[in-house]
A and B are shown apart, each in its own frame.
Chain A
Amino acid sequence: MEQGSLYPALHRLIKRGWISAEEGTSENNRRAKFYRLTPKGRKQLAVETTKWDRFARAIAGVLRPAGRENES
């Protein structure tokens, strides 16, 4: 994956109001941009995480029996 594709993604998140950007200095005293989750972003994250969990569980449910069969 190209590193640059990070930027369109970050801009998309900013536009949706899920993160905010702030300029500052990093620990090694360089100019840096800090991206921070907004409250709205945090809520969205929770939603997305739940979704992912449910999805992952479903996949796992499908895979496990097949795995057992392989073991036997």
Chain B
Amino acid sequence: MNRKRLEEEMEKDFREHIERETEENIERGMSPEEARHAAYRKFGNVVRLKEETRSVWTWRWADELSQDLRYALRTLRKNPAFAAVAVLSLSLGIGANTAIFSLIDSLLLRPLPAPHPEQLVTLDLWLEDHGQGSITYPIFDEARSRNKVLAQMFAWDNHDFQTSIDGETVHVHGALASGDYFTGLGVPAAEGRTFTAEDDRSGGGPNGPVAVISDAFWARQFQRNPSAIGRAITLDKLQFTVIGVMPRGFFGSEPGKAPDIWAPLNLARQIGDERCIESRSCWFLSVMGRLKPGVTMSAAGAQLRVISPELMKATVPGDWGGQGRKRFLGMQLHLNPGATGSSFLRRRFSNPLEILMILVAFVLLIACANMANLLIARSASRHRETAVRLAIGAGRWRLIRQLLTESVLISVLGAALGLAFAAWSVRLLVGFLEIRSNPIALNLNPDWRILVFTVSAAILTGLLFGLFPALQATHLGINMDLKKRAQNVMGAPDRFGVGRVLLGGQVALSVLLVAGSGLFAGSLLNLWTIDPGFNPRNLMLIALDVDRRPEKGPALAAIYTRLLDRLNSFSGVKSASVLLITPTSNAEWDDDVSLPGGPEIPPALRDTMVNLVGPRYFETMQTPLLTGREFTNQDAATAEKVGIISERAARAWFGGKSPIGEHIQFQKSLIRIVAVAADAKYLDLREPDPLALYLCYLQNDSPGSLSFIVRAGAGISSIFPALRAAVKQVAPGTPVDEVKTMEEQVSESLGKERLMASLSIFFGVLALLLTCIGLYGILAYSVARRQAEIGLRVAIGASRGNVIWLVLRDTLWHVVVGAGVGVVAVLGTSRFVASFLYGVKPNDPWTLAFAVAALGAVALGAAWIPARRAARLDPMVALRDE
């Protein structure tokens, strides 16, 4: 409205000014015609002055921007194929970047949902240059009472509670947390109260055992009814009182976890975990703290280092001696920034994610180069338009701005589509990090960091791929270009050199990405085909958590035995056994072995991986016994202690001698060796075969939480009803919920490798596709542009082969150079990913050859159509077109 009034007023002012001037001129004696002309001359360029005046009252750039946007949309709509290729390739590039960045953001960057997260610190134990995130309860307890620099120090252990819901016993994810957990995080309950140090006592505080629940659990279990506070809930057979509900979105201190129930740590003593909390060698707690106001992290860290020696002396396990004791006493507490919490996932995946972020940035660079090529090709077809505009007085900067507006519009459209693509694909990515028994709950909703990232990626991309073509398109001698068509017959000066250089860069990056994907895929393949020493096919793992029953020691072992007898009798079960530590699950039990009265074992060969297993274990795993016998039910608690060692252990400890009947000293018992088993993987597939010692669960005082393994035969699916019935009878109240195959277990243990391999293959294919599009675009453009030249050459006798070579020559040269640069880049950088490879050398020549060959095939494929078109060109048509 205002704008319109101003406009009218300006018109009136100008008109009246000129009228007045004309009248005055007439009074001076000019003819009316002459007078009017003179007045206009004196006034100046009316259109330009209007523009100038308008620019005073408005932001002219906003006007022009909307003009440019409308123009850009029009041109895109006129050329839908170009628009589709451009937007799609950018959306893949930007979307993939956003997806990886969202993971990095939620896992590494997002602060905890707590006030002043910058005051939070995590505590690690360091021995020389090696750090570990978990701490024993005695160390935590001592450190807490001696600490003077942290306002609160709190610890937690992720714990799945068994609870009864609608009559069914199920597992609920939760955590056992020390009394200062919530005060330390500084987050109060949304309803009721959180627990405090008073509640964190063995047996519970003044209110008995209490628990705090999550908002999600409150909604699911109590329909958000405020009367949930004060209700009783049975967790692991112990009665708790619900005292509070945490606010929505609160997940505690560990990104990736979504606990539903928090209970005081010291109640572990009442719910079956007393062994660990009392042990001086059970490393199960994650510890964080909040700095006292005014204390810096380095000052606090220094104080903790100072108290470390006395701390370790007070908490060293009494039965540890020698090397182990010395190492324990040398450990130090270290502080690290804890604003983003403490997470196992982060330790495991931060390096792979960083590498993937670099790879995916390369994909975006390729997409940029590709877009730049497409734009150069298109701006070439718009040369005349540009030349005409420059000729009639458009400023170069103004034209550049218009072209940039267009490219940024393309990239913003690409980014919008990319965000959708990212939202979908990031959930897929999380699947790679996830283990079934251990679901990942990351907050992947876009936050400001992701939005800023995507928007700046889009704008930067647009400027990056748009700037060069825009500069080039507007860099024209006006006359030259209008005249140029005449020169076209005999090879116009080539303005496409830069496009080819971009193509070369694209090829080099593609070689890098394809070679990378080859390396990662090769490693995964090697791991998949490795012999783990057992047969994971048709092998089922059933975790029953029988150990949460009140029975302990021999009574618990008897339950396992009864269930095993049942399992072995089911049709569909070839054989069944139990084990304490599932191979490749990253759990371990290791300790030193010595030879009583025999020679001293070298220190490097003492530390042995131990597992508790049952009778028929080796039959079930299909790990061959080289000599000797399996455990039997006769290897009971009262019988002589027996053990089975691995082939490597036999060689290391007994040389060529048969170890059968020999004795070894393990912890406090003397063990007679009854068999040697073939080597098998323990911690993960990548490690060399470990020294292993198998003990019979029947001879262990407290066998703890054993899993059942079942070698399935035909009709295995029918065992579950029978198993449920058997469990109900033998161990009533035990949930039968986690069943997975050993193949799944192994595959989960390769999550990192699968993530790297699948994503890098995806990026490699994307790079090839983009390079293919770019190459095709350049060649098709160059053929179209040199149509006349080609026609002329054919007319004077060039053969088809000549023509094809003419078209391909320059471009293929750049492909070759690009590939060469790519190979050099691979050789120079692949050692940075060496730690992610297995069975493949970083500079594996086959992988490199494969990458170059893949690029060559793609290049030939892309060149084929334009080259054929050039070869089929009819010289008469081509020349007449001029």
- Show the binding face of A for B, using Cβ within 8 Å: 2-5, 7-8, 11-12, 15, 30-31, 33
Contact in complex: B57, A2 (CB < 8 Å) = no
Bound form: Cα–Cα A7–B43 in Å: 10
Contact in complex: B14, A4 (CB < 8 Å) = yes
Contact in complex: B56, A2 (CB < 8 Å) = no
Contact in complex: B13, A33 (CB < 8 Å) = yes
Residues from chain B with a CB closer than 8 A to the CB of A12 are 56
Bound form: Cα–Cα A31–B12 in Å: 11
Contact in complex: B56, A8 (CB < 8 Å) = yes
Which of A4, A31, A33 lies in contact with B49, CB distance below 8 A? A4
28 residue pairs A–B, Cβ–Cβ below 8 Å: A2-B42, A2-B43, A2-B45, A3-B17, A3-B21, A3-B42, A3-B43, A3-B44, A4-B17, A4-B43, A4-B44, A4-B45, A4-B46, A5-B49, A7-B10, A7-B13, A7-B17, A7-B53, A8-B53, A8-B55, A8-B56, A11-B10, A11-B53, A11-B56, A11-B57, A12-B56, A15-B56, A31-B16
Query: Taking the nearest CB of chain B, how far is it from the CB of A60, in angstroms?
Result: 34
Instruction: Give the interface SS of chain A, mostly helix, strand, loop or mixed.
Output: helix
Residues from chain B with a CB closer than 8 A to the CB of A3 are 17, 21, 42-44
Query: Taking the nearest CB of chain A, how far is it from the CB of B372, in angstroms?
Result: 39
Check: B640 CB closer than 8 A to any chain A CB: no
Bound form: Cα–Cα A8–B57 in Å: 9
Check: B52 CB closer than 8 A to any chain A CB: yes
* B contact residues, range: 10 to 19
Query: Taking the nearest CB of chain A, how far is it from the CB of B8, in angstroms?
Result: 13
Task: Rank and list the top 4 A-B pairs by shortest CB-CB distance, nearest first.
Answer: A2-B44, A4-B44, A4-B49, A11-B56
Query: Taking the nearest CB of chain B, how far is it from the CB of A2, in angstroms?
Result: 3
Residues from chain B with a CB closer than 8 A to the CB of A30 are 20
Of chain B, the residue at the smallest CB distance from A15 is B56
Query: Taking the nearest CB of chain B, how far is it from the CB of A9, in angstroms?
Result: 9
- Given contacts A2-B42, A2-B43, A2-B44, whether A7 and B49 have CB atoms under 8 Å apart is yes
Residues from chain A with a CB closer than 8 A to the CB of B20 are 30
Instruction: Give the interface SS of chain B, mostly helix, strand, loop or mixed.
Output: helix
Bound form: Cα–Cα A15–B6 in Å: 12
Q: Which of B588-647 contact A (CB under 8 A)?
A: none
Bound form: Cα–Cα A11–B57 in Å: 8
Bound form: Cα–Cα A7–B16 in Å: 12
Query: Taking the nearest CB of chain B, how far is it from the CB of A11, in angstroms?
Result: 4
- Show the binding face of B for A, using Cβ within 8 Å: 10, 13-14, 16-17, 20-21, 42-46, 49, 52-53, 55-57
Query: Taking the nearest CB of chain B, how far is it from the CB of A15, in angstroms?
Result: 6
Query: Taking the nearest CB of chain A, how far is it from the CB of B41, in angstroms?
Result: 9
Residues from chain A with a CB closer than 8 A to the CB of B52 are 5, 8
Residues from chain B with a CB closer than 8 A to the CB of A15 are 56-57
Residues from chain A with a CB closer than 8 A to the CB of B21 are 3
With A2-B49, A11-B53 already in contact, 6 other A-B pairs whose C-beta atoms are closer than 8 Å: A3-B21, A3-B43, A4-B44, A4-B45, A8-B49, A33-B13
Residues from chain A with a CB closer than 8 A to the CB of B43 are 2-4
Bound form: Cα–Cα A7–B21 in Å: 15
Bound form: Cα–Cα A33–B43 in Å: 18
Query: Taking the nearest CB of chain B, how far is it from the CB of A63, in angstroms?
Result: 34
Of chain A, the residue at the smallest CB distance from B55 is A8
Query: Taking the nearest CB of chain B, how far is it from the CB of A8, in angstroms?
Result: 4
Residue of A4, A5, A30, A33 with most partner-chain B CB within 10 A: A4
Query: Taking the nearest CB of chain A, how far is it from the CB of B403, in angstroms?
Result: 29
Residues from chain A with a CB closer than 8 A to the CB of B49 are 2, 4-5, 7-8
Query: Taking the nearest CB of chain B, how far is it from the CB of A35, in angstroms?
Result: 11
Of chain B, the residue at the smallest CB distance from A2 is B44
Query: Taking the nearest CB of chain A, how far is it from the CB of B842, in angstroms?
Result: 65
Of chain B, the residue at the smallest CB distance from A33 is B13
Of chain A, the residue at the smallest CB distance from B6 is A11
Residues from chain B with a CB closer than 8 A to the CB of A2 are 42-45, 49
Bound form: Cα–Cα A15–B44 in Å: 23
Residues from chain A with a CB closer than 8 A to the CB of B10 are 7, 11
Query: Taking the nearest CB of chain A, how far is it from the CB of B57, in angstroms?
Result: 6
Query: Taking the nearest CB of chain A, how far is it from the CB of B47, in angstroms?
Result: 11
Residues from chain A with a CB closer than 8 A to the CB of B17 are 3-4, 7
Residues from chain A with a CB closer than 8 A to the CB of B42 are 2-3
Bound form: Cα–Cα A30–B44 in Å: 24
Bound form: Cα–Cα A3–B46 in Å: 11
Query: Taking the nearest CB of chain A, how far is it from the CB of B86, in angstroms?
Result: 40
Bound form: Cα–Cα A5–B57 in Å: 15
Bound form: Cα–Cα A35–B668 in Å: 105
Bound form: Cα–Cα A2–B53 in Å: 14
Bound form: Cα–Cα A8–B56 in Å: 7
Of chain B, the residue at the smallest CB distance from A31 is B16
Of chain B, the residue at the smallest CB distance from A12 is B56
Bound form: Cα–Cα A66–B21 in Å: 45
